[in-house]
Amino acid sequence: KRKTKNASKVKSVNRLEFSLDGLNVSGVLEDHFSHKEFRPGQKRAIQLILDGKSCFLILPTGGGKSLCYQIPALILKGLALIVTPLISLMQDQLERLPSCLSGAIWNSYQTAKEISQIKRQLRNGELDLLFISPERLFSPSFRFVLRNLPLPGVSFVCIDEAHCVSEWSHNFRPAYLEMTNVIRNELGISTILALTATATRQTCKSVCDALSLDESDIVRIDARRENLFLSVSRDTANRGKSLISLLESPRFCDLQSMIIYVFLKAQTEQVACALRSAQMDAAAYHGGMNAYQRKKIQNSFMSGKLRIVV
């Protein structure tokens, strides 16, 4: 199928038609996603959404969470609304959509022309998925668009990085706490798919309470990551020098891509500058940058042109 993109914000294809009667979900997986079998937890979560039930899916990173909203979005009639906390995640998810799915991003950095195009596609029922931030749900004009979608409207809402409902909602992302009221009461959407790779038992309860989910809706796959190594350094005298020595060590010098996390925006610039002074290919990435700067750095890192992001 031929697909088109517009400034990486829109991806269009010819929509497919499915009947839920006797549907073989495993056949859809192989025919349209080129996978022979589901990973643990995927099929159960997908079947719950296809049955019109909600699900809180906890899969390890790399466990295939995206597939659990992509297959229902392909099969179900209507629009799948994907709520994601970061624009960079939306862009990555859109660009990774398989060719059988049509998707778009709606965010505050887009031009009036881009928004107009997305509205037209929504009115015409041309999109399978729409990626938005939680704050977008509180825009009266956006809710008006959703209420006037062609039937059957929104098929389900997927809340990606659902642990944010617990960890962020009480400080700088209060929209997460109010999402349930908008989704269930104002928009009348009953099916919610919550996704995360990070959730303690306490976080699970907090998310379920916030999204009005039952604990029976939880599908949890715990996995010990054999490729994950943790180590701690107590060297506080000169952490910058220690970091450079660490990155120059045999264990790290051959790695093609690295992400370094710090606590403050100013530290991202300081660390990146120190690494560049040591002849390392590094760039800072933080919320104080504009959308163009962040997208440029993200693309450079994802394509292998940039080795280190701080």
Task: Summarize pLDDT for 110-169 with one digit per residue, the tens.
Answer: 899 999 999 999 999 999 999 999 999 999 999 999 988 888 899 999 999 898 888 655
Classify domain 239-309 by CATH architecture: 3-Layer(aba) Sandwich (3.40)
Q: Which helix (H) or strand (E) holds 175?
A: helix 175-180
- pLDDT at residue number 167: 63
Q: How far apart are CA 30 and CA 26, in angstroms?
A: 6
Q: What does the block give as tokens for 253?
A: 């010098």
pLDDT of residue 105: 96
What is the pLDDT, as a whole number, of residue 54? 96
Determine the pLDDT at residue 22. 59
Q: Given this model, what pLDDT does residue 291 score?
A: 84
Q: What is the pLDDT of residue 12?
A: 47
pLDDT tens for the chain, 310 residues long, are 333 333 345 554 455 555 555 578 888 998 889 888 999 999 999 999 999 999 999 998 877 999 999 999 999 989 999 999 888 889 899 999 999 999 999 998 889 999 999 999 999 999 999 999 999 999 999 999 998 888 889 999 999 989 888 865 555 577 887 888 899 998 999 999 999 987 888 888 888 988 999 988 899 987 677 777 788 877 767 888 889 988 999 888 888 999 999 999 999 999 999 999 999 999 999 989 998 899 899 999 999 999 999 9
Strands (DSSP E) along the chain, which ranges? 4-6, 10-12, 55-58, 79-83, 103-105, 129-132, 154-159, 192-196, 218-220, 258-259, 282-283, 308-309
Look at residue 178 in the predicted model and tell me its pLDDT: 83
Task: Quote the CA–CA distance of 119 and 121 in Å, as a whole number.
Answer: 5
Q: At what angle do helices 42-50 and 67-75 cross, to 10 degrees?
A: 30
Contact between 130 and 164 under an 8 Å Cβ cutoff? The reply is no
Residue 170 has a pLDDT of 58
Q: What is the pLDDT, as a whole number, of residue 87?
A: 87
The pTM score is 0.74
| Secondary element (H or E) of residue 298 | helix 291-302
What pLDDT is stored for residue 179 in this prediction? Answer: 87
Residue type at 162 in one-letter notation:
A
Is the dihedral angle over the CA atoms 264, 270, 273, 278 positive or is it negative? negative
Give the architecture-level CATH label for domain 4-220: 3-Layer(aba) Sandwich (3.40)
Residue range(s) in the chain whose domain bears CATH number 3.40.50.300:
4-220, 239-309
What letter represents residue 185's amino acid? N
Phi then psi dihedrals of residue 272, to 5 deg: -60, -40
